Structure 1
Amino acid sequence: MIPHSSPSLARSVNRRILWKKILLHRYLYLMLLPCLAFFIVFSYIPMGGVILAFKEYKFNKGILGSPWIGFDYFKTFFQDYQSGLLIKNTLIISFLKLFVYLPFPILLALMFNELRRKWFKNVAQSISYLPHFLSWVVVVGMMQRVLAPDTGMLNQLTAFFGGAGDTFYMMESKYFYPIMFGSFIWKSIGWDSIIYLAAIAGVNPDMYEAAKIDGASKWREIWHITLPSIAPTIVTLFILSLGSVLSAGFDQLYLLGTPGNRALSDILDTYIIRIGLTSGQYGYATAVGLMQGLIGFILVIIANRLSRRLMDTSLW
C-alpha cells in the first residue's frame, strides 16, 4: 500500500503500470501509428497556415513575414454580394446530405440484416459497396453519358416512349437537386450501411427471442429492439457529421456544376478553391475555410452536449 505522504512514489508506480500496459498492447499501438502519422502530417501540421487568414500574404515575404490585417478578410466575405447565396446553397445541400440522407443507410442495413440466404446477402452487399470506391470523376462521367441530350440513355428511352428526348439534364437547374442527391445516395449508401449493420449484429439475440415469445411481429422487433439498440451509433455518427455542415462536398459539386445550375451548385468549398487557387487570394480563402471549420466545431460541441443531456450518449 502506497503511503499518502509520498506522492512521488505513487506517480512512479503509476508510470510503471502505464508502461507495462503499453508494452502489453504494443502491437495495437504499432498498428495505430500510421493513422496518427496521417493526421499529424495532413491535419495538425497544416494548421500553422491558419494565420494566413489574418495576414495579407506576400510571396516575397512568406507567411511569417507578411503584414497582419486582422479580421479584414472576414468582413470582406460578409460584404460580398455572393456570400448569402454561397451560404444558402451550402446549407441546403448539407441539410439534404445530413438529415434527409440519414435514414437511407439505416434502412439498407435493416434490409441486409433480414436477408436469410447468405450468398444473396453477400452479393447484394458487395454490389452496394462498389460505388464507394469509384471517384466522383468516374461517377459524374457516367452520369453525363446517361443524361446527355439526344445520345444519353435516359433521353433515348424518353424518345422511344414518344417524348422529345432532347433534354439537357445537367444544364437545367430544376434537375440539379435530384441528380446531386440521387448520385450521392448511390455512391454512399452501401458503404455507410456497414457501421449500422455491425451495430445491429451486436444486438443481444435473446431480446429477439423474448419478443417472439410475446408474439411481436418483425416490425415490432425492429421498432422496439433494433432501432433503440443502435440509437447510440446513429447519434454518434450524426454528431460527427455535423462538423462538416458547411462543407457540402467539393468533388461532387465542382464536377456537377454547369453554367445552367451554377446558382444552385456554387458552394463555399468551390468558392474557396476558385478564389484561393485560381485567383491566388490565399489569405482570403484561408479565412473562409477557417470560418467553416469553426462553425462545424461549435455545432459538434452543442450537439454533443444536447445528446448527452437528452439521450445519455455523447462523444466525450
Structure 2
Amino acid sequence: METDLSQAGIMNEKKKSHSFLGKRILKHKQLYLMLFPCIAFFVIFSYIPMGGLMLAFKDYQFNKGIIGSPWVGFSYFKAFFNDYQSAQLIKNTLAISSIKLFIGLPFPILLSLMFNEVRNRRFRGITQSISYLPHFLSWVIVVGLMQRMLAPDSGLLNEAIRYFGGDGSTFFMMESNYFYPLMFGSHVWKSIGWDSIIYLAAMAGINMELYEASRIDGANKWHEIWHVTLPGIRMTISILFILSLGSVLNAGFDQIYLMRTPGNMQLADILDTYIIRVGLKDGQYGYATAVGLMQGLIGLFLVIGANKASKKLTDESVW
C-alpha cells in the first residue's frame, strides 16, 4: 500500500513538472523560437553525424554500407600507433596547438584591456571594427595575401629588404625556420579582434564602484587593471582556457593545409591534414574516422580533467 502511494506521488510530481515546463515554454515561446535554429544546427551537424563513428570499428564497404560492413575492433587504432608517421604527426599537432593556446592566450586579453581604457567612443568603434575584420576573411584569402607579400621576387617584404641593401630573395613560405612565426602571426592577426569581444563583455560587467574605491585608495591605471579588471575577468579567462583544451589536437586544418609547402612539410604535417589525406584521398574512411575519434576523446578527457583541477584549485569551473 505504501509503495503504491509513493509511486502515485512520484507520478504526480512528474506531471506537475511537465505541466510547469509546458507553461514556461508557452510563456517564453519567442525566446525558444529564436533558440530553435541553434539547436537544429547542432542536432543536424553535430549529433546526427556521430552515428558515423561506427566507421572507426568497421571495414567499410560501399556495397554493404556502414551497418552491414564487418567489424574490425580496434585494429585501426593499433595501425595508427604502429605507423612510423604517428609520433611526428602528434608532435607537430601539439606544438602548433600549444603555441596558439598558451602563447596566443594573452593577446586578445591585452587588446580588450586597451579597448576598455579608450574613452573616445568614435575612435574605439573604428579600431574595434578594424580588428574584427580579419575574422571574416577565409584562410584562403589570408594565406594568398601572405604568399603575395612574402614572394621571393616581387613580395613586399623582399622589396623592402632589397631597398635597405639586403639580398631580398628569401622564399619565406618555403623555409621551415619561418613556419612557426608566420603561422602564429597570421593566427593572432586573424583572431585577436574577435576573441577580445568576450573579454570586453566580461569587463563591462565589472562593478564601477570597485574602480572608484581603488582611486580613493590612490591606485593608478596599472593598479586598477591588475587588482580590479583582471580579477573581474578571471572566471571568463579560466572557462575559455578550459574549453580551448578540447581542441588541443586540432591545430587548425584550413590554415596549416594552405601554408604547407615542401620546405616546411616536416613541421606542417599534422593530424588534421593526415586525416584528410588518408580519408578522402586514399579512401581509408574507417582508419581516418578512428584517428578523428581519438582526437575528440583526448580533447574530452583534457576538458574534464582541466575542469576538475580548476574547480579544486580556484572554485571556478564550466560545470
| TM-score, structure 1 as length reference | 0.97
Q: How far apart are 1:60 and its partner, in Å?
A: 1.5
Would you say 1:166 and 2:169 are equivalent positions?
Answer: yes
> Residues of 1 paired with 2:180 and 2:10: CA distance?
63
1:201-280 to 2 correspondences below 5 Å:
201-280=204-283
Other-structure match for 1:145: 148
String of CA shifts for 1:96-115, please: whole Å, max 9, x gaps.
11111000000000000000
1:103-118 to 2 correspondences below 5 Å:
103-118=106-121
> What is the identity, as a one-letter code, of the residue corresponding to 2:280?
L
> What is the identity, as a one-letter code, of the residue corresponding to 2:182?
I
Would you say 1:187 and 2:174 are equivalent positions?
Answer: no
Would you say 1:68 and 2:59 are equivalent positions?
Answer: no
> Residues of 2 paired with 1:227 and 1:102: CA distance?
14
Other-structure match for 1:55: 58
| TM-score, structure 2 as length reference | 0.97
> Residues of 2 paired with 1:165 and 1:6: CA distance?
83
> Residues of 2 paired with 1:230 and 1:81: CA distance?
44
> Residues of 2 paired with 1:172 and 1:288: CA distance?
29
> Residues of 2 paired with 1:6 and 1:105: CA distance?
54
Q: How far apart are 1:12 and its partner, in Å?
A: 2.4
> What is the identity, as a one-letter code, of the residue corresponding to 1:54?
F
> Residues of 2 paired with 1:280 and 1:6: CA distance?
57
String of CA shifts for 1:67-108, please: whole Å, max 9, x gaps.
111111111101111000000000000101111100000000
- Which residue, out of 6, 9, 25, partners 1:22? 25
Other-structure match for 2:304: 301
String of CA shifts for 1:45-77, please: whole Å, max 9, x gaps.
110010111111112211111111111111110
- Larger mean CA deviation between 24-33 and 269-278 belongs to 24-33
Would you say 1:77 and 2:86 are equivalent positions?
Answer: no
Q: How far apart are 1:252 and its partner, in Å?
A: 0.1
Would you say 1:37 and 2:40 are equivalent positions?
Answer: yes
> What is the identity, as a one-letter code, of the residue corresponding to 1:214?
D
1:90-105 to 2 correspondences below 5 Å:
90-105=93-108
Q: How far apart are 1:201 and its partner, in Å?
A: 0.7
Q: How far apart are 1:9 and its partner, in Å?
A: 2.7
1:123-142 to 2 correspondences below 5 Å:
123-142=126-145
Identity in percent: 68
> Residues of 1 paired with 2:13 and 2:139: CA distance?
56
> Residues of 1 paired with 2:124 and 2:96: CA distance?
32
String of CA shifts for 1:241-277, please: whole Å, max 9, x gaps.
1111000000000000000000000000000000000
- Larger mean CA deviation between 52-61 and 180-189 belongs to 52-61
String of CA shifts for 1:6-58, please: whole Å, max 9, x gaps.
33333322222222211111111111110111111111111001011111111
> Residues of 1 paired with 2:289 and 2:259: CA distance?
24
- Which residue, out of 87, 92, 114, partners 1:89? 92
> Residues of 2 paired with 1:303 and 1:208: CA distance?
32
> Residues of 2 paired with 1:167 and 1:109: CA distance?
36
Between Structure 1 and Structure 2, how many residues are aligned?
A: 314
String of CA shifts for 1:142-196, please: whole Å, max 9, x gaps.
0000000010000000000000010000000000000000000000000000000
> Residues of 1 paired with 2:286 and 2:301: CA distance?
22
Other-structure match for 1:121: 124
Other-structure match for 1:177: 180
> Residues of 1 paired with 2:116 and 2:106: CA distance?
15
Secondary structure (helix, strand or coil) at the match of 1:187 reads helix
> What is the identity, as a one-letter code, of the residue corresponding to 2:29?
R
> Residues of 2 paired with 1:80 and 1:16: CA distance?
57
